[in-house]
Amino acid sequence: QVRLVESGGGSVQAGGSLRLSCQASEAFSYNCIGWFRQAPGSKREGVAAIYSYGASGSSTYYPGSVKGRFTISQDNAKNSVYLQMNSLKAEDTGMYYCAAGQPLCTVVERRLDPSQYKMDYWGNGTLVTISS
């Protein structure tokens, strides 16, 4: 069973940056991998996803709330996915989860409710707190 482990969360002031990492326990095949977040009292929402075409490249997806500030990347040699978060705002506060699954890119691109779709793997999350 593949395990996803997030790291890199912490507390920073508004305007600062954080880089989250998602480490898979082993190499595995997936259609799409990405990041969700959940603020206290709010539903989980997608913030970034990447679909790899192999040597042909990849496509990335972001909701408007983070586009231009967040960047997702992956390093297949390290079985890792990263989320670079810049110009952080107080509303970016929440638990950030790494996940992988066939519907993930569509969920992020169309801002769908992830609870309505089955993802193959979820991490346990890493907490991001932004103070204003």
Q: What are phi and psi of 105, to 5 degrees?
A: -65, -40
pLDDT of residue 62: 97
Cα–Cα distance measured from residue 99 to residue 84, given in angstroms and rounded to the nearest whole number:
16
- What pLDDT was estimated at residue 53? 87
Per-residue confidence in pLDDT tens, the chain, 132 aa: 999 999 999 999 999 999 999 999 998 888 899 999 999 999 999 999 999 888 888 999 999 999 999 999 999 999 999 999 999 999 999 999 999 999 999 999 999 999 999 999 999 999 999 998
Q: What are the phi and psi torsion angles at 115 (to 5°)?
A: -65, -15
Per-residue pLDDT, 23: 97
Residue 33 has a pLDDT of 97
Q: In the prediction, which pLDDT does 67 show?
A: 97
Tell me what pLDDT residue 56 has.
86
